[in-house]
Amino acid sequence: MEKVLVKRLDGYDTDAIQGFVSNATKVLDTRPKPRAFIKPNLVQATRYAEHAYTHPEVLRGTFRALRRFGAADRVLFEDCGLMVPMRYAYRKSGYARLCHEEGVHFLNLSEAVHDATIKVQHGQIHEELPIPSILAKDGIRVFVPKLKIHAQTDISGAVKLLIGLIKRSLRLEGHHYDLDRKIVDALEAYPPDLVIIDGITLGRNGAGCPDPYPLGLLIASHNAVAADAVAAHLVGFDPAKIDHLRFAAERGLGPVDLTKIELINPDRVQPARPGQYKERKINGLNPHIRYFEGDVHDGKRCRGGCIGFVAESIHYLNHYHNWRKNEKVNFAAGALFWLLGQLPSQERPRKLGVVVGDYKGDIPDEYRSNLVFVGDCTSAKDVKPRVHLKGCPVYMARQTFEFARHSGQLNPYLDVIEGLPFIRAFLEEKFMKAWNILTHPLRRNR
Ligand code: SF4
């Protein structure tokens, strides 16, 4: 029986988090090692996306508990969402300051040389995954995901977390109707020794820019599937109906059946009502954008590909608009926003239709002249799109940019306040990546 611990905690109290992690290592009988590799969930971080990543205090509590547990050498590793420089997200999330204060080394996967390979024996999308060789060394692997309700996979926890381990150049391979299998490949390649799920604030309606909901939970286990199965159950899902968990269980990577999990729940946390935290329907996420979905790939609903990214992008634009409406900016930023036509008062939204898949239905007249087709498999009868975004899938950042452009909504990628640090981080990252590749043979031979 895999053990899963659940604790109620209503705020980010570092000492309480450290105590929970220390207790988890004892109850779960974790084997101490002098080194720990810690994987957070950091999709992106901006001033308007504060809930897209594991809370820094959850990491701080985990770092301290691991140090007391004997892991003097602690390495945080991550690669965030595509189109976001990892250095930028690392700084904006507060992780840079946190690692400095806690003496934790950061391994930026976006810059590192992936000089080792892990075989995936039962891999269905990936037969092997390249990683930086340091991650293959002996150490405790600790996953610290942020719990989110997710448009592509129902929930995002310890299993989905591993998308961030996959090298950027391979990230979109199989990221469509086979996403659930791709995630399980990564879990098979790199399973954790300890999982600490940050469910103190639940993220809803999009992994890249979620709405926060105070859930007040911490969850721990040795097993990623068991931890996620309990998390799913507690937020009102049937874990056996979540594809990536079911596939992982079928591959023998952990139990999804709650009767095979020993739940240690001293606070008697009760599960939510079924559907209580379910993702909202795409057509309720943005008043200016209407979504039309046709058949995709023999009737498989491609949630893991363009469809999930459409839901994320549409929500993102609406969230950004509402956030900017209430923001006070200084004169210089206001002037730059004005020059780019990005002040809320300059917004001129118009109706936009978005089509995914082979759509055979009618499209109302008001949308016919302003349509965006998304994905290689998309077509619709008797209409011509303004633009057809090609790709399989078309990733979220590209969709968001084009939807903003064609719907006349404020564009988060033209945000002048985030822009300068974003560009700086982008250039630094390009330089460091090239430098690491050039100097890698020298360092390896040392
Ligand atoms: S192009 Fe079609 S099959 Fe490919 S990810 Fe998009 S919706 Fe899925």
Residue/partner pairs of 129-133 with CB below 8 Å, 24 or more apart = 129/165, 129/166, 129/167, 129/170, 129/185, 129/186, 129/189, 129/190, 130/167, 130/170, 131/165, 131/167, 131/190, 132/77, 132/107
| Res 400 pLDDT > 70 | yes
| pLDDT at position 444 over 70 | no
Counting atoms of ligand 1 from 1, which one is nearest the CA of 306?
Answer: 6
> Looking at ligand 1, which residue's alpha carbon is closest to its atom 4?
392
Residue 377 structure tokens: 């498999």
Q: Ligand 1: distance of its center to the CA of 300 in Å?
A: 10
pLDDT score of 292 more than 90: yes
Strand, helix or coil at 362? coil
Q: According to the model, what pLDDT value does residue 445 have?
A: 54
Average pLDDT of the chain to the nearest whole number? 94
| Atom of ligand 1 minimally distant from the CA of 391 | 1
Look at residue 16 in the predicted model and tell me its pLDDT: 98
Q: What is the pTM of this model?
A: 0.94
Please give the domain boundaries of the chain with CATH numbers for all domains.
Answer: 2-264 (3.40.50.11440), 282-414 (no CATH)
Residue 397, amino acid: A
- pLDDT tens per residue, range 297-347: 777 789 899 999 999 999 999 999 999 999 999 999 999 999 999 999 999
Residue 391, pLDDT score = 95
Using one digit for the tens of pLDDT, what is the confidence trace for 153-194?
Answer: 999 999 999 999 999 999 999 999 999 999 999 999 999 999
Phi, psi (rounded to 5 degrees) for 78: -170, 155
Is 446's pLDDT higher than 70? no
Is it the case that residue 114 has pLDDT exceeding 80?
Answer: yes
What is the share, in percent, of the chain residues with pLDDT greater than 70? 99
Residues 6+ apart with CB under 8 A from 91: 421, 425
- Ligand 1 lined by 173 (C-beta under 6 Å): no
Q: Is the pLDDT of residue 442 over 70?
A: no
* CA distances in angstroms from 444 to 25, 77, 424, 438, listed in the order given: 34, 20, 29, 11
Residue 308 in contact with ligand 1 by CB distance below 6 A = no
Give the DSSP H or E segment for 3: strand 2-8
Q: Are 350 and 363 in contact (CB under 8 A)?
A: no
- Give the residue-averaged pLDDT of 242-249: 97
Half-sphere exposure of 123 (CA within 13 A, CB side): 17
Q: What pLDDT is recorded for position 298?
A: 74
Determine whether the shortest distance from the Cβ of 310 to ligand 1 is under 6 A: no
Average pLDDT for 203-232:
94
Return d(Cα 155, Cα 255) in angstroms, integer.
16
